[in-house]
Chain A
Amino acid sequence: MLAPLITETEADLILKSQQGDRNAFGELVRHYYSRLIHVIYRMCGDAALAEDAAQEAFLRAWLHISSFRLGEPLRNWLYRIAVNAALDILRRRTEESAEDENLQMIPEQAMSPEEALIEKESTALLQQAVKSLPEAARSVLVLREYGELSYQEIASVLDIPIGTVMSRLNYARDRLREALKDQMLQAENEYV
């Protein structure tokens, strides 16, 4: 998937933001927030943390936007900041954060209590499996699965060679394949 080309309006908003226009920057935030928050959430595995990290990421973007080069995809630049912000906030995070807090926020769509419980458990298992990955492998996996970046874009965002992207992704998916065997079996049965 190709990165979206920078549009004239976006370029205009970036230029204005570089000159200190908060409203223009707010427009950019509005546009990119939902993509970034999902990537950050998968990095953190916690909704409250993800919102804090998203805020930190956009604040950093605001402070550094004058160094952004027009012509590059803003999305990739923001992803880079977002991944770093998520990792930083995770490192700072204290152990007392309740693991299940975020799961209660997941909307339950017309499920029986039993189904909802199973859904919660499997989501928690999945989230735990992703979180247990080393940071480097998790960043690549999340950018691929949730950021929908190409290998080349991931390499550029994380500043690593494309071969490293491939090996980290192989490692991450292999680990998940092991960790989620039961869920996979269940999912395969559902698809059949």
Chain B
Amino acid sequence: MCEEAHALLNAYLDGELRGWRLRELEGHLESCAVCRNELKELQTVSNLLRSAPTPTFLPAGKFAARLTLQLPRRSLRDPLPKPPSWTWWLVPAGLLGAWFFLRTVFTLATAITAADATGLLGQSSAWFNGSQPQALWYLAVNSLFGSQVSAAQQSTLSLFNQVNTFGGDLLEGFLWQAMIVLLYWVWLAAWWLHRAPRPLELTAAG
């Protein structure tokens, strides 16, 4: 325990310990004379450092006046106005809105298609679903061999056509959502780069 306590004594001294760590260390200090002594020594070191005399420096006013005379010329152009931080959140909010919109549209479309296919909508679906969507190959087959196709073959072809158009819709929906996710990741990466502290190029200045 003393080894653990040793690592935390400075944090305790500086008032940086909280919660159970603080309680645990205080409990240990009550029972351990070695750690108490160490803490006292650290406190003394801190006191010695803080009470060390300092030289008399140039008064702030004089220093500032002298410095302002030496300030090098700098471009007086206004710095580019930085967008306020809340604008960052417009991007994910917009993407989220677009995602909800797409989800709603696709869910509704699927539900209506399913209801229509099972006949739940009856004749009422006729106004929005005037004709069954048809794949290119289905149109071609119909126009070329329409008269030679039997009723059984026609219903099989129609089924394939429905599967094809349904799959196409699904794929389209998936691609849209994948694009939104990709844009979100790009935004996230840009946000991290923006947030990360940039090291100052200090040695180049002055």
Q: Say yes or no: B45 contacts A84, CB within 8 Å.
A: no
Q: Say yes or no: A127 contacts B52, CB within 8 Å.
A: yes
Q: Say yes or no: A29 contacts B46, CB within 8 Å.
A: no
B40 partner residues in chain A, CB cutoff 8 A: 188
Is A13 at the interface (CB under 8 A from chain B)? no
CA distance A130 to B49 in the complex (A): 9
What string of 1s and 0s marks CB contacts (under 8 Å) between B32-75 and chain A?
A: 00000000111011111110111111101101110110111011
Is B7 at the interface (CB under 8 A from chain A)? yes
Is B130 at the interface (CB under 8 A from chain A)? no
Q: Say yes or no: B47 contacts A105, CB within 8 Å.
A: no
Is B136 at the interface (CB under 8 A from chain A)? no
Size of chain A's interface in residues, with CB distance under 8 A?
A: 66
Is B79 at the interface (CB under 8 A from chain A)? yes
- Classify chain B's interface size: 35 or more
Is B1 at the interface (CB under 8 A from chain A)? no
Task: Name the distance in Å between B36's Cβ and chain A's nearest Cβ.
Answer: 14
CA distance A55 to B70 in the complex (A): 9
Task: Name the distance in Å between A140's Cβ and chain B's nearest Cβ.
Answer: 10
CA distance A192 to B205 in the complex (A): 50
Q: Say yes or no: A156 contacts B197, CB within 8 Å.
A: yes
Considering the complex, which residues of chain A in the window 55-111 have a beta carbon less than 8 Å from any beta carbon of chain B? 55-56, 58-60, 62-64, 66-67, 69, 71, 80-81, 84-85, 88, 102, 105-107
Q: Which of A62, A71, A166, A180 interacts with B45 by CB under 8 Å?
A: A180
Query: In chain A, what residue has the closest Cβ to B6?
Result: A170
A27 partner residues in chain B, CB cutoff 8 A: 64
Interface residues of B (CB under 8 A from A): 6-7, 9-11, 14, 16, 40-42, 44-50, 52-58, 60-61, 63-65, 67-68, 70-72, 74-76, 78-79, 82, 85, 197-203, 205-206
